[in-house]
Amino acid sequence: MADKLHFSLVSPERALRSDEVHMVVVPGSEGDFGVLAGHAPFMSTIRPGAIQVFAEAESAPARIFIDGGFAEVNEGGLTILAEAALPVEELEPEAIARDLSNAREDLRDAKTDVERSLAERRIARFEAMQATITN
């Protein structure tokens, strides 16, 4: 298989996957982009959302939720540095809704700028998770 893209997904805790795929669609911070084999060297930040991994051209994509991060394309393939990654099927809507309301509560109770910005980041993350599930 000549036209395969080498795709590796790395989190700070461990390398999550590294294999040959057909195409990966990444939610870049300036818009989604697809990466096929032979893509030009490219670097982009990622907004929280789902990446789609197409193992074959016609296969259904595997969707993985990424909590922001960084994508790098070079001749060796595509590398995604993600702070947290979770297959979309494993996201639990109830737990997220609960966390989201907790985070909103924290934001209301926040007294300092430090607490406020921490809570805001958490809210953004959980909202992205919810958006991913409903799509």
The residue ranges that bind other proteins (CB under 8 A) are 10-15, 28-30, 40-45, 70, 72, 74-76, 79, 81, 83-84, 113-114, 117-118, 121
User: 43-67: buried (b, 16+ CB within 10 Å) or exposed (e) per residue?
Assistant: ebebbbbbbbbbbeeeeebbbbbbb
Task: Please identify, using beta-carbon distances, which residue of 56 and 109 lies nearer to other proteins.
Answer: 109
Q: Which of these, 106, 99, 86, lies nearest to 127 by C-alpha position? A: 99
The minimum distance between CB 10 and other proteins, in angstroms, equals 5
Task: Please identify, using beta-carbon distances, which residue of 58 and 79 lies nearer to other proteins.
Answer: 79
Task: Please identify, using beta-carbon distances, which residue of 59 and 74 lies nearer to other proteins.
Answer: 74
